[in-house]
Amino acid sequence: MTVAHGFYAEYGDTATRSGPLAREALVAWVPAYVTGVALVVATAVAVPVAAVQGVQAKRDRYEATPGCDGDTDAGPLSGPAKKVLERAEAEFAALEHPGPFTGGGSSGLDGCESYLDLYEDTDPRPAYQDALPDAGWTDVTLDHGVLRATKGDQGFRLRHREAGWTVWIGPQGGTS
């Protein structure tokens, strides 16, 4: 409105009567305003849709199980750590997980720990309480919010940290 007012205040034909001038302005300016409004509405719809699709694309890149191989800039871990991590990877692969893994965490002689990618209101403990016994884990216990289980000489732990839920698998007595 302000643009039209300013334009006609500067360039308008003072000899034109109000009716024809109003029709002229309507024909000249409404398409521009409609286009502007359409762009604003399209942006208001497109930006949230693009944000949701972007986050989903990021989530789709996450792994179904954590990569516990211990690859570093110097190459993969070897020796005793390699065997520990191979066992942890096999145990992770044998479990049904309630979400993908972000790749963050740690790997070493004490096992493998990684962050689950879950929606904020998702509690993974019930899913693991069902999945662990099905995969041969025993002594499934929930104590102070931490879910633990054993399978032979392997341990499992699910706990909530500031950055989210972590899952650890490694030798019994591992420090992770």
Neighbour count for residue 120 (Cβ, 10 Å): 5
The model's pTM: 0.73
- Using only the alpha carbons of the chain, give its radius of gyration: 30
pLDDT > 80? residue 77: no
Angle at 31 between CA 27 and CA 36, to 5 degrees: 150
The pLDDT score that the predictor gives to residue 71 is 55
What number is the average pLDDT over the span 37-52? 88
Residues 6+ apart with CB under 8 A from 116: 97, 98, 99, 100, 101, 102, 124, 164, 165, 166, 167
Classified as helix, coil or strand, 67 is coil
Which of 10-24, 51-65, 91-105 is the least confident region? Answer: 10-24
As a whole number of angstroms, the distance between CA 89 and CA 69 comes to 8
- What pLDDT does 35 receive? 87
